[in-house]
Structure 1
Amino acid sequence: MKKRHFLWAGTATVGTALLSHYLPGKSKGEIATAAARFEITKTEQEWRKILTADQFQVLRQHGTERPGSSPLDKEYGKGLFACAGCNLPLFSSKTKFNSGTGWPSFYAPIDGAVGTTIDTSFYMTRVEVHCRRCGGHLGHVFDDGPKPTGKRYCINGIALKFIPG
């Protein structure tokens, strides 16, 4: 009897540990470790004071805006696209292209402006793009972009501010 309970508990523990890698969200320990890596850190309340509800959902909770909902998808003026959370310039208009996806797309970020992590939410593996200074979730990068990089940085427009110039 005790052996059966031990095996059942062990199986449940291992199964839970394996499954947790495929579920969205991060543990408090992971969030604390990630926050320690960024120059700009704020509490949830501080972020909510400076971001709109939609910006908070995308930048701080890893959400995604509806495709085609951002005016920045059609913004092709000269300038820079900066993080809506901390104003760090992330992408130059020189690298923007129309991917037809409904989100602003770029083939390269400004050197040193973004970081990436592996995102295993929704039972798939993708490369998440975040602001290197504040850690704000920007979108994802894919290997189906144009030359010269072959990359498509598919970015939530609500996570960006356009600075003409």
Structure 2
Amino acid sequence: MTSAPLDRRTFLGTAALGSAAIAAGSSARADLADRLDAYQFEVNRPEGEWREMLSNLEFNVLREGGTEPARSHPYWEASEPGVYSCKACDLPLYDSEWKVILPMGWVFFYHSRPTAILTDIDRSGPMTGGTGPAIEAACRRCGSHHGHIVGINNEVIHCINGAGLTFTPSAT
């Protein structure tokens, strides 16, 4: 399912915030563990409990900031109406009406639900590729890493790992 592209004002505002965040990167924390220690999330669990409730891939993505292989999760090309929530704490993050299917093989959304996603500088993520920091997208409730906010085809969109999501179809 595709949505209308971002309007110019929204795009420029988001790009300005992203640029400011990257410029402030020198004072930002260097990795996911530091961020998790520095912020008080509503849902906190010891590592052993996270490992019990998540598969190895889910733990790697959500708790260690990893990335699933492209096209490895069925959500990347799913088009059913519904809500995508955080697999670690069930917070609704994205509505399917904001989803866009791109050939890269991850789950893409034009934006999240209000106050659902926290952003931060990710210096260690796979998206950096030696070109500088990336903007990380994490769950506001539990701090789980979901992916990154990227620029593709002149649009700022959320590139999300399907392994970190659950899907609830819309009632018909």
Alpha-carbon RMSD: 2.3
- Alpha-carbon distance in 2 for matches of 1:110, 1:88: 10
Larger radius of gyration: 1
Q: Is 1:77 aligned with 2:77?
A: no
- Alpha-carbon distance in 2 for matches of 1:73, 1:106: 10
| Structure 1 residue 53: Cα displacement | 1.0
Which secondary structure state, in structure 2, belongs to the residue aligned with residue 60 of structure 1?
Answer: helix
Partner of 1:17: none
Q: 1:113–1:30: structure 2 CA closer, same or farther, 3 Å change rule?
A: closer
Runs of 4+ displaced beyond 3 Å = 24-27
Q: TM (normalized to structure 1)?
A: 0.77
Which secondary structure state, in structure 1, belongs to the residue aligned with residue 149 of structure 2?
Answer: strand
Aligned 8 A contact 1:39 1:134 in 2: yes
- Matched residue count: 140
Aligned 8 A contact 1:77 1:93 in 2: yes
Instruction: Give the % identical residues.
Output: 36
Whichever residue aligns with residue 47 of structure 1, its letter is W
Aligned 8 A contact 1:145 1:152 in 2: no
Q: Is 1:33 aligned with 2:32?
A: no
Partner of 1:102: 105
Partner of 2:146: 138
Which secondary structure state, in structure 1, belongs to the residue aligned with residue 163 of structure 2?
Answer: helix
- Alpha-carbon distance in 2 for matches of 1:73, 1:45: 29
Which residue of the other structure, out of 147, 160, 171, is the alignment partner of 1:155?
160
Q: Is 1:126 aligned with 2:131?
A: no
Structure 1 residue runs without a partner (length 5+): 1-19
Whichever residue aligns with residue 51 of structure 1, its letter is L
- By relative contact order (CA 8 Å, sep 6+), the higher-ranking structure is 2
Aligned 8 A contact 2:32 2:64 in 1: no
Aligned 8 A contact 2:51 2:59 in 1: yes
- Alpha-carbon distance in 1 for matches of 2:86, 2:48: 19
Aligned 8 A contact 1:139 1:155 in 2: yes
- Alpha-carbon distance in 1 for matches of 2:51, 2:78: 26
Q: 1:30–1:80: structure 2 CA closer, same or farther, 3 Å change rule?
A: closer
- Alpha-carbon distance in 2 for matches of 1:26, 1:108: 22
Whichever residue aligns with residue 99 of structure 2, its letter is K
Whichever residue aligns with residue 135 of structure 2, its letter is V
- Alpha-carbon distance in 1 for matches of 2:91, 2:109: 16
| Structure 1 residue 26: Cα displacement | 5.3
Partner of 2:66: 63
Aligned 8 A contact 2:101 2:107 in 1: yes
- Alpha-carbon distance in 2 for matches of 1:145, 1:135: 29
